[in-house]
Structure 1
Amino acid sequence: MEHREFIDHYTAQARALRAAAVEAGPSAPVDTCPLWTVHDLVRHIAGVNAWAVAALRSESVDERPDWPGAPDEWDDLLAWWDERARELADELRAIDPATPRWTLIGTETAGFWARRQAHEAAIHRLDAEHARSSADVPELLFTPEFAADGVDEFLTRMTVIASRRKPVERAGVLVLHAADAGRAWEVRLVPGEAPAVGPVTGSGAHADATVAGTADSLFRAVWGRPSGAVVTGDTALLDALPRV
Protein backbone atom coordinates (compact mmCIF):
# COMPACT_ATOMS: atom_id res chain seq x y z
CA MET A 1 0.00 0.00 0.00
CA GLU A 2 1.09 3.58 -0.67
CA HIS A 3 1.74 6.34 1.87
CA ARG A 4 -1.32 8.34 0.80
CA GLU A 5 -3.53 5.28 1.12
CA PHE A 6 -2.43 4.80 4.70
CA ILE A 7 -3.24 8.44 5.47
CA ASP A 8 -6.71 8.01 3.96
CA HIS A 9 -7.28 4.86 6.00
CA TYR A 10 -6.05 6.64 9.12
CA THR A 11 -8.48 9.53 8.73
CA ALA A 12 -11.42 7.23 7.95
CA GLN A 13 -10.75 4.92 10.90
CA ALA A 14 -10.10 7.84 13.25
CA ARG A 15 -13.49 9.35 12.37
CA ALA A 16 -15.25 6.02 12.90
CA LEU A 17 -13.41 5.48 16.18
CA ARG A 18 -14.45 8.89 17.46
CA ALA A 19 -18.09 8.41 16.51
CA ALA A 20 -18.28 5.03 18.26
CA ALA A 21 -16.48 6.34 21.35
CA VAL A 22 -18.78 9.34 21.70
CA GLU A 23 -21.86 7.17 21.28
CA ALA A 24 -20.59 4.67 23.86
CA GLY A 25 -19.78 7.42 26.38
CA PRO A 26 -16.65 7.97 28.48
CA SER A 27 -17.61 5.63 31.32
CA ALA A 28 -18.46 2.61 29.13
CA PRO A 29 -16.17 -0.38 29.76
CA VAL A 30 -13.93 -1.54 26.93
CA ASP A 31 -14.16 -5.31 27.27
CA THR A 32 -11.57 -5.86 24.52
CA CYS A 33 -9.03 -3.88 26.59
CA PRO A 34 -9.60 -5.11 30.16
CA LEU A 35 -9.61 -2.42 32.87
CA TRP A 36 -10.10 0.38 30.32
CA THR A 37 -13.08 2.64 29.92
CA VAL A 38 -13.81 4.57 26.73
CA HIS A 39 -12.21 7.59 28.43
CA ASP A 40 -8.99 5.56 28.83
CA LEU A 41 -9.20 4.44 25.20
CA VAL A 42 -9.61 7.99 23.92
CA ARG A 43 -6.81 9.25 26.15
CA HIS A 44 -4.53 6.50 24.83
CA ILE A 45 -5.18 7.02 21.13
CA ALA A 46 -4.96 10.80 21.46
CA GLY A 47 -1.63 10.41 23.25
CA VAL A 48 -0.28 8.04 20.61
CA ASN A 49 -1.26 10.49 17.88
CA ALA A 50 0.52 13.33 19.69
CA TRP A 51 3.56 11.09 20.22
CA ALA A 52 3.68 10.28 16.50
CA VAL A 53 3.45 13.98 15.68
CA ALA A 54 6.42 14.66 17.98
CA ALA A 55 8.43 11.92 16.26
CA LEU A 56 7.61 13.30 12.81
CA ARG A 57 8.57 16.84 13.81
CA SER A 58 11.86 15.87 15.46
CA GLU A 59 14.98 15.61 13.35
CA SER A 60 16.63 13.43 15.99
CA VAL A 61 16.30 9.87 14.70
CA ASP A 62 17.74 8.39 17.90
CA GLU A 63 15.77 10.19 20.61
CA ARG A 64 12.47 8.74 21.82
CA PRO A 65 9.91 11.57 22.19
CA ASP A 66 8.40 12.22 25.60
CA TRP A 67 4.89 10.90 26.11
CA PRO A 68 2.52 13.90 26.03
CA GLY A 69 0.08 14.87 28.74
CA ALA A 70 -3.62 15.00 27.91
CA PRO A 71 -6.62 16.73 29.50
CA ASP A 72 -8.74 14.70 31.91
CA GLU A 73 -12.15 16.32 31.41
CA TRP A 74 -14.07 14.53 28.64
CA ASP A 75 -14.98 17.50 26.44
CA ASP A 76 -11.47 18.93 26.72
CA LEU A 77 -10.00 15.52 25.93
CA LEU A 78 -12.15 15.18 22.81
CA ALA A 79 -11.10 18.62 21.61
CA TRP A 80 -7.44 17.79 22.28
CA TRP A 81 -7.87 14.49 20.42
CA ASP A 82 -9.36 16.29 17.42
CA GLU A 83 -6.44 18.73 17.33
CA ARG A 84 -3.84 15.95 17.52
CA ALA A 85 -5.64 13.94 14.83
CA ARG A 86 -5.61 16.93 12.48
CA GLU A 87 -1.95 17.63 13.23
CA LEU A 88 -0.99 14.04 12.54
CA ALA A 89 -2.78 13.94 9.18
CA ASP A 90 -1.22 17.28 8.21
CA GLU A 91 2.29 16.14 9.20
CA LEU A 92 1.94 12.88 7.29
CA ARG A 93 0.72 14.68 4.16
CA ALA A 94 3.51 17.23 4.29
CA ILE A 95 6.51 14.96 4.91
CA ASP A 96 8.35 12.81 2.39
CA PRO A 97 7.63 9.25 3.58
CA ALA A 98 11.29 8.35 2.94
CA THR A 99 12.51 10.93 5.48
CA PRO A 100 14.47 9.23 8.32
CA ARG A 101 12.65 9.44 11.65
CA TRP A 102 12.61 7.76 15.06
CA THR A 103 10.08 4.94 15.25
CA LEU A 104 9.07 2.18 17.62
CA ILE A 105 11.28 -0.22 15.68
CA GLY A 106 14.32 2.09 15.69
CA THR A 107 15.47 4.49 13.00
CA GLU A 108 13.13 4.02 10.07
CA THR A 109 11.28 6.48 7.82
CA ALA A 110 8.32 8.78 8.27
CA GLY A 111 6.21 6.33 6.28
CA PHE A 112 6.32 3.99 9.28
CA TRP A 113 3.99 6.33 11.15
CA ALA A 114 1.36 6.49 8.40
CA ARG A 115 1.10 2.70 8.39
CA ARG A 116 1.30 2.37 12.19
CA GLN A 117 -1.33 4.99 12.96
CA ALA A 118 -3.71 3.69 10.29
CA HIS A 119 -3.71 0.27 11.93
CA GLU A 120 -3.66 1.74 15.44
CA ALA A 121 -6.82 3.67 14.64
CA ALA A 122 -8.43 0.63 13.02
CA ILE A 123 -7.84 -1.80 15.89
CA HIS A 124 -8.95 0.74 18.48
CA ARG A 125 -11.96 1.59 16.33
CA LEU A 126 -12.92 -2.05 16.93
CA ASP A 127 -12.52 -1.52 20.68
CA ALA A 128 -14.83 1.50 20.55
CA GLU A 129 -17.36 -0.42 18.44
CA HIS A 130 -17.41 -3.24 21.01
CA ALA A 131 -17.78 -0.73 23.84
CA ARG A 132 -20.72 0.83 22.03
CA SER A 133 -22.46 -2.51 21.34
CA SER A 134 -20.62 -5.79 20.80
CA ALA A 135 -23.72 -7.34 19.27
CA ASP A 136 -23.71 -4.77 16.45
CA VAL A 137 -20.05 -4.90 15.36
CA PRO A 138 -20.00 -5.94 11.67
CA GLU A 139 -17.92 -8.96 10.69
CA LEU A 140 -16.38 -7.01 7.81
CA LEU A 141 -15.15 -3.48 8.49
CA PHE A 142 -11.84 -3.38 6.63
CA THR A 143 -10.91 -4.00 3.00
CA PRO A 144 -8.95 -7.21 2.33
CA GLU A 145 -5.88 -5.26 1.24
CA PHE A 146 -5.83 -3.01 4.32
CA ALA A 147 -6.60 -5.81 6.78
CA ALA A 148 -3.94 -8.08 5.24
CA ASP A 149 -1.41 -5.29 5.58
CA GLY A 150 -2.47 -4.98 9.21
CA VAL A 151 -1.73 -8.67 9.73
CA ASP A 152 1.63 -8.26 8.02
CA GLU A 153 2.55 -5.21 10.11
CA PHE A 154 1.58 -7.01 13.30
CA LEU A 155 3.62 -10.12 12.47
CA THR A 156 6.71 -8.44 11.04
CA ARG A 157 6.86 -5.28 13.17
CA MET A 158 4.74 -5.32 16.29
CA THR A 159 5.70 -8.81 17.48
CA VAL A 160 9.36 -7.78 17.25
CA ILE A 161 8.67 -4.73 19.42
CA ALA A 162 6.58 -6.72 21.90
CA SER A 163 9.07 -9.58 22.18
CA ARG A 164 11.67 -7.14 23.55
CA ARG A 165 9.50 -6.78 26.66
CA LYS A 166 7.85 -10.17 26.75
CA PRO A 167 9.90 -12.93 25.11
CA VAL A 168 8.17 -15.79 23.33
CA GLU A 169 7.60 -18.74 25.67
CA ARG A 170 6.20 -21.41 23.35
CA ALA A 171 7.66 -23.22 20.34
CA GLY A 172 5.82 -24.11 17.17
CA VAL A 173 4.84 -23.15 13.65
CA LEU A 174 1.74 -21.05 13.03
CA VAL A 175 0.34 -20.58 9.52
CA LEU A 176 -2.18 -17.87 8.67
CA HIS A 177 -4.31 -17.82 5.48
CA ALA A 178 -6.33 -14.80 4.32
CA ALA A 179 -8.13 -16.21 1.30
CA ASP A 180 -9.87 -13.00 0.20
CA ALA A 181 -6.54 -11.16 0.10
CA GLY A 182 -4.54 -14.00 -1.43
CA ARG A 183 -2.02 -13.72 1.42
CA ALA A 184 -0.45 -16.30 3.75
CA TRP A 185 2.21 -16.14 6.46
CA GLU A 186 4.27 -18.72 8.31
CA VAL A 187 5.36 -17.79 11.83
CA ARG A 188 8.03 -19.80 13.64
CA LEU A 189 8.04 -19.38 17.40
CA VAL A 190 11.16 -20.18 19.41
CA PRO A 191 11.31 -19.43 23.16
CA GLY A 192 13.33 -16.32 23.90
CA GLU A 193 13.44 -15.13 20.29
CA ALA A 194 11.38 -12.75 18.18
CA PRO A 195 8.93 -14.58 15.89
CA ALA A 196 10.39 -15.41 12.47
CA VAL A 197 7.90 -14.56 9.72
CA GLY A 198 8.09 -15.64 6.10
CA PRO A 199 6.20 -17.29 3.25
CA VAL A 200 4.45 -20.59 3.87
CA THR A 201 6.74 -23.57 3.31
CA GLY A 202 5.26 -26.16 0.97
CA SER A 203 1.60 -26.89 1.61
CA GLY A 204 1.74 -25.73 5.21
CA ALA A 205 0.73 -29.19 6.42
CA HIS A 206 3.67 -29.15 8.84
CA ALA A 207 2.10 -26.31 10.84
CA ASP A 208 1.28 -26.89 14.49
CA ALA A 209 -1.65 -24.48 14.19
CA THR A 210 -3.51 -22.75 11.36
CA VAL A 211 -5.57 -19.58 11.36
CA ALA A 212 -7.86 -19.14 8.35
CA GLY A 213 -10.53 -16.68 7.34
CA THR A 214 -10.97 -13.27 5.80
CA ALA A 215 -8.12 -10.82 6.14
CA ASP A 216 -10.41 -8.78 8.40
CA SER A 217 -10.93 -11.75 10.74
CA LEU A 218 -7.19 -12.50 10.83
CA PHE A 219 -6.41 -8.85 11.61
CA ARG A 220 -8.71 -9.04 14.62
CA ALA A 221 -7.40 -12.45 15.66
CA VAL A 222 -3.71 -11.56 15.74
CA TRP A 223 -4.51 -8.53 17.87
CA GLY A 224 -6.54 -10.68 20.26
CA ARG A 225 -9.91 -9.14 19.38
CA PRO A 226 -13.16 -11.11 18.84
CA SER A 227 -12.89 -12.73 15.43
CA GLY A 228 -14.57 -15.17 13.08
CA ALA A 229 -11.23 -16.70 12.05
CA VAL A 230 -11.04 -20.49 12.32
CA VAL A 231 -8.12 -21.72 14.43
CA THR A 232 -7.13 -25.38 14.22
CA GLY A 233 -4.34 -27.40 15.81
CA ASP A 234 -2.49 -25.98 18.83
CA THR A 235 -4.71 -22.95 19.36
CA ALA A 236 -2.47 -21.70 22.18
CA LEU A 237 0.13 -20.68 19.59
CA LEU A 238 -2.05 -17.80 18.46
CA ASP A 239 -2.24 -16.53 22.03
CA ALA A 240 1.53 -17.00 22.34
CA LEU A 241 2.22 -14.23 19.80
CA PRO A 242 3.77 -11.33 21.69
CA ARG A 243 1.52 -8.28 21.74
CA VAL A 244 2.17 -4.70 22.78
Structure 2
Amino acid sequence: MQAWVLACVADPGGSEARGERPPKVWEEIVPWWDDKRAALRRAFDAGPDTPAQMLFPFYEANLGAWARRQAHEVAIHRVDVELAGRQEATTFDTAFAADGVDEALSMIIHRRGTDWSAVGASGTVLVHAEDARRLWSLTLAPGQPPALAAPAEPDVTLSGGADAVYKRLWRRPADVSITGDAELLDPLETP
Protein backbone atom coordinates (compact mmCIF):
# COMPACT_ATOMS: atom_id res chain seq x y z
CA MET A 1 0.00 0.00 0.00
CA GLN A 2 2.80 2.46 0.85
CA ALA A 3 4.41 1.92 -2.57
CA TRP A 4 1.05 2.62 -4.20
CA VAL A 5 0.63 5.89 -2.27
CA LEU A 6 4.18 6.92 -3.18
CA ALA A 7 3.34 6.37 -6.86
CA CYS A 8 0.25 8.58 -6.42
CA VAL A 9 2.39 11.32 -4.89
CA ALA A 10 5.01 11.05 -7.64
CA ASP A 11 2.36 11.41 -10.37
CA PRO A 12 -0.44 13.59 -8.92
CA GLY A 13 -2.08 14.17 -12.30
CA GLY A 14 -2.05 10.54 -13.38
CA SER A 15 -4.99 8.20 -13.44
CA GLU A 16 -3.67 4.71 -12.70
CA ALA A 17 -0.74 4.68 -10.30
CA ARG A 18 1.03 1.40 -9.87
CA GLY A 19 3.35 1.10 -6.94
CA GLU A 20 6.64 -0.68 -7.06
CA ARG A 21 6.17 -4.42 -6.48
CA PRO A 22 7.80 -5.92 -3.38
CA PRO A 23 10.80 -8.18 -3.83
CA LYS A 24 10.18 -11.90 -4.20
CA VAL A 25 13.02 -12.89 -1.90
CA TRP A 26 11.76 -13.13 1.69
CA GLU A 27 14.90 -11.64 3.28
CA GLU A 28 14.51 -8.50 1.15
CA ILE A 29 10.87 -7.76 2.01
CA VAL A 30 11.27 -6.16 5.46
CA PRO A 31 14.09 -3.80 4.39
CA TRP A 32 12.08 -2.90 1.26
CA TRP A 33 8.98 -2.20 3.36
CA ASP A 34 11.01 -0.11 5.84
CA ASP A 35 12.33 1.95 2.93
CA LYS A 36 8.80 2.56 1.60
CA ARG A 37 7.50 3.45 5.06
CA ALA A 38 10.31 5.99 5.55
CA ALA A 39 9.76 7.43 2.06
CA LEU A 40 6.04 7.81 2.76
CA ARG A 41 6.74 9.63 6.04
CA ARG A 42 9.03 12.02 4.14
CA ALA A 43 6.33 12.52 1.47
CA PHE A 44 3.74 13.42 4.12
CA ASP A 45 6.10 16.17 5.34
CA ALA A 46 5.11 18.12 2.21
CA GLY A 47 1.77 18.94 3.91
CA PRO A 48 -1.87 17.88 3.59
CA ASP A 49 -2.74 20.14 0.65
CA THR A 50 0.01 18.68 -1.56
CA PRO A 51 -1.61 17.24 -4.70
CA ALA A 52 -1.57 13.46 -4.97
CA GLN A 53 -3.37 11.14 -7.32
CA MET A 54 -6.42 9.67 -5.58
CA LEU A 55 -8.03 6.63 -7.10
CA PHE A 56 -11.11 6.90 -4.90
CA PRO A 57 -13.26 9.67 -6.41
CA PHE A 58 -14.98 10.55 -3.14
CA TYR A 59 -11.71 11.67 -1.49
CA GLU A 60 -9.84 14.87 -2.21
CA ALA A 61 -6.78 14.35 -4.39
CA ASN A 62 -4.17 15.38 -1.83
CA LEU A 63 -1.84 14.04 0.85
CA GLY A 64 -4.30 14.88 3.62
CA ALA A 65 -6.80 12.38 2.19
CA TRP A 66 -4.07 9.74 1.87
CA ALA A 67 -2.92 10.37 5.44
CA ARG A 68 -6.47 9.81 6.71
CA ARG A 69 -6.93 6.68 4.59
CA GLN A 70 -3.55 5.26 5.65
CA ALA A 71 -4.16 6.01 9.33
CA HIS A 72 -7.40 4.04 9.40
CA GLU A 73 -6.09 1.24 7.19
CA VAL A 74 -3.10 0.71 9.47
CA ALA A 75 -5.15 1.08 12.66
CA ILE A 76 -7.60 -1.65 11.71
CA HIS A 77 -4.82 -3.99 10.58
CA ARG A 78 -3.04 -3.32 13.87
CA VAL A 79 -6.15 -4.65 15.62
CA ASP A 80 -5.98 -7.73 13.36
CA VAL A 81 -2.37 -8.41 14.36
CA GLU A 82 -3.11 -7.94 18.04
CA LEU A 83 -6.12 -10.26 17.91
CA ALA A 84 -4.17 -12.86 15.90
CA GLY A 85 -1.55 -12.80 18.65
CA ARG A 86 -4.36 -13.25 21.18
CA GLN A 87 -3.59 -9.88 22.71
CA GLU A 88 -6.10 -7.30 23.80
CA ALA A 89 -6.69 -4.93 20.92
CA THR A 90 -5.53 -1.34 21.14
CA THR A 91 -8.14 1.17 22.31
CA PHE A 92 -8.11 4.15 19.99
CA ASP A 93 -8.45 7.76 21.05
CA THR A 94 -12.08 8.94 20.93
CA ALA A 95 -11.50 11.61 18.27
CA PHE A 96 -9.52 9.23 16.02
CA ALA A 97 -12.11 6.45 16.37
CA ALA A 98 -14.98 8.85 15.68
CA ASP A 99 -13.15 9.99 12.53
CA GLY A 100 -12.87 6.32 11.51
CA VAL A 101 -16.62 5.89 12.04
CA ASP A 102 -17.25 9.00 9.94
CA GLU A 103 -14.94 7.76 7.18
CA ALA A 104 -16.66 4.38 7.11
CA LEU A 105 -20.18 5.81 7.03
CA SER A 106 -19.65 8.87 4.84
CA MET A 107 -17.18 7.48 2.32
CA ILE A 108 -16.31 3.79 2.45
CA ILE A 109 -19.63 2.01 2.93
CA HIS A 110 -22.04 3.74 0.60
CA ARG A 111 -19.48 4.33 -2.15
CA ARG A 112 -17.82 0.93 -2.31
CA GLY A 113 -18.12 -1.14 -5.46
CA THR A 114 -21.00 -3.24 -4.15
CA ASP A 115 -23.83 -4.23 -6.47
CA TRP A 116 -26.57 -2.75 -4.34
CA SER A 117 -29.32 -4.20 -6.55
CA ALA A 118 -29.16 -7.44 -4.54
CA VAL A 119 -29.51 -5.68 -1.18
CA GLY A 120 -33.11 -5.64 0.00
CA ALA A 121 -32.67 -3.88 3.33
CA SER A 122 -35.06 -1.07 4.11
CA GLY A 123 -35.08 1.12 7.20
CA THR A 124 -33.25 3.72 9.23
CA VAL A 125 -30.02 3.07 11.11
CA LEU A 126 -28.70 5.28 13.87
CA VAL A 127 -25.03 5.00 14.78
CA HIS A 128 -24.04 6.67 18.04
CA ALA A 129 -20.48 7.13 19.26
CA GLU A 130 -21.48 8.07 22.79
CA ASP A 131 -18.18 9.37 24.16
CA ALA A 132 -17.61 11.47 21.03
CA ARG A 133 -21.19 12.77 21.23
CA ARG A 134 -21.63 12.07 17.51
CA LEU A 135 -24.61 10.61 15.66
CA TRP A 136 -24.93 9.33 12.11
CA SER A 137 -28.31 8.48 10.62
CA LEU A 138 -28.52 6.38 7.47
CA THR A 139 -31.47 5.46 5.32
CA LEU A 140 -31.55 2.04 3.67
CA ALA A 141 -33.70 1.43 0.60
CA PRO A 142 -33.80 -1.76 -1.49
CA GLY A 143 -31.30 -1.70 -4.33
CA GLN A 144 -29.70 1.55 -3.14
CA PRO A 145 -26.50 2.29 -1.23
CA PRO A 146 -27.00 3.54 2.35
CA ALA A 147 -27.45 7.31 2.41
CA LEU A 148 -26.64 9.71 5.23
CA ALA A 149 -29.84 11.44 6.26
CA ALA A 150 -31.34 13.71 8.87
CA PRO A 151 -31.93 11.86 12.14
CA ALA A 152 -35.21 9.93 12.17
CA GLU A 153 -36.82 7.25 14.31
CA PRO A 154 -34.38 4.34 13.85
CA ASP A 155 -35.23 0.72 13.09
CA VAL A 156 -31.87 -0.22 14.62
CA THR A 157 -29.36 1.64 16.76
CA LEU A 158 -25.68 0.77 17.02
CA SER A 159 -24.16 2.54 20.00
CA GLY A 160 -21.15 2.47 22.25
CA GLY A 161 -17.87 4.23 22.70
CA ALA A 162 -16.30 5.57 19.51
CA ASP A 163 -13.57 2.89 19.68
CA ALA A 164 -16.12 0.07 19.87
CA VAL A 165 -18.36 1.48 17.12
CA TYR A 166 -15.30 2.01 14.89
CA LYS A 167 -14.19 -1.59 15.33
CA ARG A 168 -17.71 -2.99 14.84
CA LEU A 169 -18.16 -1.13 11.55
CA TRP A 170 -14.86 -2.64 10.38
CA ARG A 171 -16.12 -6.12 11.43
CA ARG A 172 -13.78 -6.50 14.40
CA PRO A 173 -14.85 -7.71 17.86
CA ALA A 174 -16.33 -4.85 19.87
CA ASP A 175 -18.52 -4.28 22.89
CA VAL A 176 -21.43 -2.34 21.39
CA SER A 177 -25.13 -2.13 22.01
CA ILE A 178 -27.51 -3.04 19.19
CA THR A 179 -31.17 -2.24 19.65
CA GLY A 180 -33.70 -3.14 16.96
CA ASP A 181 -33.35 -5.11 13.72
CA ALA A 182 -29.64 -6.05 13.74
CA GLU A 183 -29.84 -7.38 10.16
CA LEU A 184 -30.10 -3.78 8.97
CA LEU A 185 -26.45 -3.34 10.01
CA ASP A 186 -25.27 -5.86 7.38
CA PRO A 187 -25.21 -3.31 4.51
CA LEU A 188 -23.09 -1.01 6.67
CA GLU A 189 -20.15 -3.37 7.09
CA THR A 190 -16.98 -2.22 5.45
CA PRO A 191 -15.43 -4.20 2.62
Instruction: Please give the TM-score of this superposition, normalised by the length of structure 1.
Output: 0.70
Q: How does 1:172-187 map to 2 (within 5 A)?
A: 172-187=123-138
- 1:60 touches 1:102 (CA, 8 Å); kept in 2? no
The reply to whether residue 94 of structure 1 matches residue 46 of structure 2 is yes
Mapped to 2, the partners of 1:96 and 1:151 lie a distance apart of 21
**Aligned twin of 2:188:** 241
The reply to whether residue 221 of structure 1 matches residue 175 of structure 2 is no
- 1:154 touches 1:222 (CA, 8 Å); kept in 2? yes
Matched position secondary structure for 1:240? helix
Q: Percent of aligned positions with the same letter in both sequences?
A: 34
The reply to whether residue 80 of structure 1 matches residue 27 of structure 2 is no
The reply to whether residue 119 of structure 1 matches residue 79 of structure 2 is no
Matched position secondary structure for 1:90? helix
Mapped to 1, the partners of 2:124 and 2:132 lie a distance apart of 21
Mapped to 2, the partners of 1:107 and 1:229 lie a distance apart of 29
Q: Against the structure 1 CA distance between its residues 92 and 166, is the aligned structure 2 distance closer, same or farther, given a 3 Å change threshold?
A: farther
Gaps of 5+ in 1: 1-47
Mapped to 1, the partners of 2:178 and 2:66 lie a distance apart of 31
Please tell me the residue identity of whatever aligns with 1:232: T
Q: Against the structure 1 CA distance between its residues 160 and 105, is the aligned structure 2 distance closer, same or farther, given a 3 Å change threshold?
A: farther
**Aligned twin of 1:129:** 82
- 2:17 touches 2:53 (CA, 8 Å); kept in 1? no
Instruction: Please give the TM-score of this superposition, normalised by the length of structure 2.
Output: 0.87
> Which protein has greater RCO, CA pairs closer than 8 Å, 6+ apart?
1
Q: Against the structure 1 CA distance between its residues 199 and 70, is the aligned structure 2 distance closer, same or farther, given a 3 Å change threshold?
A: farther
RMSD: 2.1
**Aligned twin of 2:158:** 211
**Aligned twin of 2:60:** 108
User: What displacement does 1:112 show?
Assistant: 0.9
Mapped to 1, the partners of 2:16 and 2:151 lie a distance apart of 35
The reply to whether residue 188 of structure 1 matches residue 139 of structure 2 is yes
Q: How does 1:4-153 map to 2 (within 5 A)?
A: 48-61=1-14, 63-66=15-18, 68-97=20-49, 99=51, 101-105=53-57, 108-110=60-62, 111-133=64-86, 136-138=87-89, 141-153=91-103
User: What displacement does 1:129 show?
Assistant: 0.6
Please tell me the residue identity of whatever aligns with 1:209: V
Gaps of 5+ in 2: none
Mapped to 2, the partners of 1:242 and 1:216 lie a distance apart of 16
